[in-house]
């Protein structure tokens, strides 16, 4: 049975240990997982945000650089056309059309124009390649030429199975425009810049005009569609971004194109009304990001596993350290104070706990040893030993209790000793009285026998007074009964008066104690008033309370004074009543004596009456009864003497027991 109890206790300890371990693991792992999840979420969000910011910033810089490259290439084309327009053969009036055509052919071969031609102010061709159009009147750049009178770059167009780009500028003679020089370049010069912009796998780059129409794209098939970006990607947010593009702003945004999120960067092409746009799907840049995030999550999981391993080890260490204390506390709860506490060597709170537990158990063991020693002295009858002064803190109450018990036992044994002495003395007196009663009973028996003989001799002489003697005897007996009842009632009344007197003395003591308390209360009220006066305004309320307490104390003192007067008068009355009761009792004793005398007289008369025959017989029977009573008294006296002797023996034995007890201040005698 004990083994099963031990097993259950060990199981409970193990469960507690596992519970502590699991609690530590649960909370620490929960915090670690929560922190891991939060850090992962923050990392993912920050990664996406930083990726967007970096890519948009890089795309913006790329768009700006690419637009500048496009502008530089276009500027190169315009410079070539400007240099050609400054040829003397073209500007001087003495050159023939053939000479001018020769100059154009030479430049066309060297610069790789598709065609070159000169047109008059109405847009009709003056001279040039056969591939050049006969009129440019319907061309968009012609209207710009006539309006601006400056170099104009036309939008790319597809003609003769080739994408071309026209540059036109006015030629002046004598400061006046007299014709227009138009040259068509291959689109490759512009497409090379767009083709070199490679963003992602499916990223695109294209140029739009001032209306939002795509005029250049590295994918030539898209150029033939002439799509408008407002119609192609219509939405409120996209419209605002497209408006910024057409307002020649530089920027980068994240927007949805064809239902897919794209990074879009844009920048105006210098010297034109065009805007270069670069876009790339976000998912192409997020693949690597997702891979890195996956790697980070895997690493976080690995770190959590490592952390769990470390936490389990730490929890084992903590729970093992705590099990040292809990196991010892369990054995302590079962009353085991002897086993030593195994100290935890962790340099942590567990070591402090086990050390404090060891000190606590050592202190409790010392306290219990001191209690056991003190109780051992008491059980051996030695009440003179002092209780050790080794109890600290709340345990000092135990020492006070032991001291109180010892002092109470000392006082009790002294009282028992005094009582045993008194019993011894009383037993001796009772034994003496019993002997005297026994001797008296013997003498009384002999006297009664002599009395019976005398009664028989005077039987004849008392016959004539028989009736009178009987009457007198009856009256004497009745008077004797009344006197006995009065004596008993007077004794009761006298005892009652003594009790009242003693109670009145106690009331006087209590009244004096209340008077002292009232005096102290008055003094405290005075001190409180002084302190309240010192406190100033903040003590005003307390001063009122102190004043009321003083008033109540004075009223109490006056009431006590009146009560004392009443009690004093009552005490005087009681003393007078007591004296009167004593006097009455003395009178009753005198009456009792007189009644006894009267009874003696009646008995004398009865003796005389016994002269009658019948009276003599009756007196003889009564004398026999008296003789029997005397014999009974003799037997009772003998038994009383024996009982007194036994009481004396027991009192002596009790005295010996008390004398064997060692008390403070010496052994009792």
**Taking all residues of the chain, what is their mean pLDDT, rounded to a whole number?**
76
Cα separations in angstroms, 266 against 56, 150, 202: 10, 27, 17
pLDDT average, residue stretch 57-85: 87
What is the C-alpha separation between 273 and 7, in angstroms, rounded?
93
Domain 459-609 in CATH 1.10.287.950? The answer is yes
Per residue in 648-659, pLDDT (tens digit) is 777 777 766 666
> Does residue 1 have a pLDDT over 70?
no
For residue 419, is pLDDT > 90?
no
Please say if the pLDDT value at position 586 is more than 50: yes
Q: Rounded mean pLDDT of 221-242?
A: 85
Place of tokens 């066309």: 108
Residues 6+ apart with CB under 8 A from 281: 200, 202, 203, 260, 261, 262, 263
Q: How far is CA 590 from CA 30, 340, 594, 595, in A?
A: 106, 85, 6, 8
Token pair for residue 607?
Answer: 């003796």
Domain edges within the chain:
50-205+250-285, 392-458+633-669, 459-609
For residues 164 and 515, the model is more confident at 164
> Per residue, what are the HEC states of 201-241?
CCCEEEEECCCCEEEEECCHHHHCCCCEHHHHCCCHHHHHH
pLDDT tops 70 at residue 159: yes
Query: How far does CA 575 lie from the centroid of its chain?
Result: 69
Torsion of CA 332, 334, 335, 340, to 10 degrees: -40
> Which pLDDT does position 265 carry in this prediction?
92
pLDDT digits (tens, 9 = 90+) for 510-549: 877 777 787 777 777 778 778 777 777 766 676 777 677 7
Average pLDDT on 49-78 reads 86
- Which pLDDT belongs to residue 13? 47
Dihedral of alpha carbons 331, 336, 339, 341, sign: positive
| pLDDT beyond 90 at 310 | no
Residue in 418, 389, 417 with CA at minimum distance from that of residue 403:
389
Q: Contact, 241 vs 253, CB < 8 A? A: yes
Whole-number percent of the chain with pLDDT over 90 = 3
pLDDT number for residue 15:
47
Q: Which residues pair with 157 in a beta bridge?
A: 164
Instruction: Yes or no: say if 318 and 350 are a contact pair by the CB < 8 Å rule.
Output: yes
The per-residue pLDDT for 182 is 92
pLDDT in tens, 454-472: 766 766 666 666 666 667 6
End-to-end Cα distance, the chain? 55
Instruction: Work out the average pLDDT over 416-444.
Output: 72
Give the list of residues 6+ apart from residue 103 with CB closer than 8 angstroms, or none.
84, 87, 89, 90
Buried b / exposed e along 256-280 (16+ C-beta atoms within 10 A): ebeeeebbbbbbbbeebebbbbbbb
Q: How far is residue 274's CA from residue 213's CA, in Å, rounded to a whole number?
A: 10
Q: How confident is the model at residue 86 (pLDDT cuts 50, 70, 90)?
A: confident
Dist CA 356 CA 504 (whole Å): 60
599-647 pLDDT, tens digit per residue, is 777 677 666 666 566 666 776 777 677 767 767 776 777 777 777 777 7
Average pLDDT of 119-143? 89
Instruction: Reduce the DSSP state of residue 647 to 3 states and report it.
Output: helix
Please give the Cα distance from 354 to 372 (Å, whole number): 26
Average pLDDT, stretch 292-313?
Answer: 80
pLDDT computed for residue 667 by the predictor: 55
The pair of structure tokens assigned to 408 is 């109470």
Residue for token digits 């405290």? 524
H or E segment to which residue 382 belongs: none
Alpha carbons within 13 angstroms on the beta-carbon side of residue 64 total: 10
pLDDT tens figures, 325-373: 676 677 767 776 666 666 656 656 666 766 776 777 777 777 777 777 7
Across the range 145-173, mean pLDDT stands at 87
Calpha distance 358→364 (Å, rounded): 10
What number is the average pLDDT over the span 32-50? 80
What would the two tokens of residue 306 be?
């490592």
Residue range 50-205+250-285, CATH number: 3.30.450.20
Token pair, residue 558, equals 């006056």
- Region label for 273, one of left (φ > 0), alpha (ψ between -120 and 50) or beta (otherwise): alpha
């Amino acid at each position: 049975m004990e083994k099963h109890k031990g097993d259950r206790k060990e199981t409970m300890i193990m469960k507690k240990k596992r519970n502590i371990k699991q609690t530590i693991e649960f909370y620490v792992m929960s915090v670690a997982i929560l922190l891991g999840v939060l850090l992962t979420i923050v990392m993912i969000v920050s990664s996406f945000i930083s990726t967007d910011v970096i890519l948009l910033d890089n795309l913006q810089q790329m768009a700006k650089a690419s637009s500048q490259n496009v502008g530089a290439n276009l500027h190169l084309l315009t410079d070539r056309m400007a240099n050609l327009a400054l040829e003397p053969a073209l500007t001087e009036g003495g050159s023939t059309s053939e000479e001018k055509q020769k100059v154009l052919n030479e430049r066309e071969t060297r610069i790789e124009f598709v065609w070159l031609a000169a047109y008059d102010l109405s847009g009709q061709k003056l001279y040039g390649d056969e591939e050049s159009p006969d009129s440019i009147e319907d061309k968009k750049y012609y209207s710009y030429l006539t309006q601006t009178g400056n170099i104009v770059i036309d939008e790319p167009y597809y003609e003769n199975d080739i994408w071309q780009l026209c540059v036109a500028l006015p030629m002046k003679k004598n400061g006046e425009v007299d014709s227009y020089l138009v040259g068509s370049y291959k689109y490759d010069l512009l497409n090379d810049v767009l083709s070199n912009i490679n963003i992602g796998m499916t990223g695109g780059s294209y140029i739009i005009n001032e209306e939002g129409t795509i005029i250049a794209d590295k994918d030539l098939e898209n150029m033939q569609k002439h799509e408008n970006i407002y119609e192609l990607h219509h939405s409120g947010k996209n419209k605002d971004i497209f408006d910024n593009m057409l307002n020649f702003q530089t920027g980068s945004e994240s927007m949805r194109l064809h239902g897919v999120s794209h990074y879009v960067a844009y920048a105006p092409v210098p010297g034109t009304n065009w805007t270069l746009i670069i876009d790339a799907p976000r998912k192409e840049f997020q693949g690597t990001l997702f891979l890195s995030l996956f790697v980070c999550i895997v690493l976080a999981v690995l770190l959590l596993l490592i952390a769990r391993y470390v936490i389990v080890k730490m929890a084992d260490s903590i729970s093992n350290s705590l099990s040292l204390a809990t196991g010892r506390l369990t054995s302590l709860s079962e009353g085991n104070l002897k086993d030593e506490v195994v100290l935890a060597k962790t340099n942590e709170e567990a070591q402090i706990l086990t050390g404090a537990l060891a000190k606590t158990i050592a202190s409790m063991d010392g306290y219990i040893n001191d209690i056991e020693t003190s109780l051992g002295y008491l059980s051996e009858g030695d009440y003179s030993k002092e209780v050790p002064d080794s109890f600290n803190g709340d345990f000092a109450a135990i020492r006070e209790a032991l001291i109180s018990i010892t002092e109470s036992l000392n006082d009790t044994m002294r009282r028992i000793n005094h009582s045993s002495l008194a019993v011894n003395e009383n037993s001796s007196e009772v034994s003496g009285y019993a002997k005297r009663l026994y001797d008296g009973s013997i003498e009384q028996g002999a006297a009664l026998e002599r009395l019976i003989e005398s009664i028989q001799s005077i039987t004849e002489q008392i016959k004539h007074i028989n009736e009178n003697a009987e009457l007198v005897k009856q009256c004497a007996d009745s008077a004797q009964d009344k006197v006995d009842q009065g004596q008993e009632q007077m004794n009761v009344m006298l005892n009652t008066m003594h009790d009242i007197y003693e109670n009145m003395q106690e009331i006087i003591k209590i009244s004096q104690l209340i008077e002292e308390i009232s005096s102290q209360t008055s003094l405290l009220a005075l001190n409180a008033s002084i302190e309240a006066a010192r406190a100033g305004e903040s003590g005003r309320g307390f001063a009122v309370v102190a004043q009321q307490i003083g008033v109540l104390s004075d009223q109490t003192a006056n009431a006590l004074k009146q009560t004392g007067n009443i009690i004093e008068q009552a005490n005087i009355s009681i003393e007078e009543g007591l004296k009167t009761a004593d006097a009455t009792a003395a009178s009753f004793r005198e009456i009792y004596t007189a009644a006894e005398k009267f009874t003696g007289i009646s008995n004398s008369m009865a003796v005389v009456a016994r002269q009658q025959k019948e009276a003599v017989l009756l007196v003889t029977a009564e004398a026999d009864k008296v003789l029997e009573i005397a014999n009974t008294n003799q037997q009772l006296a003998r038994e009383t003497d024996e009982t007194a002797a036994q009481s004396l023996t027991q009192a002596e034995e009790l005295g010996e027991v008390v004398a064997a007890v060692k008390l403070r201040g010496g052994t009792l005698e």
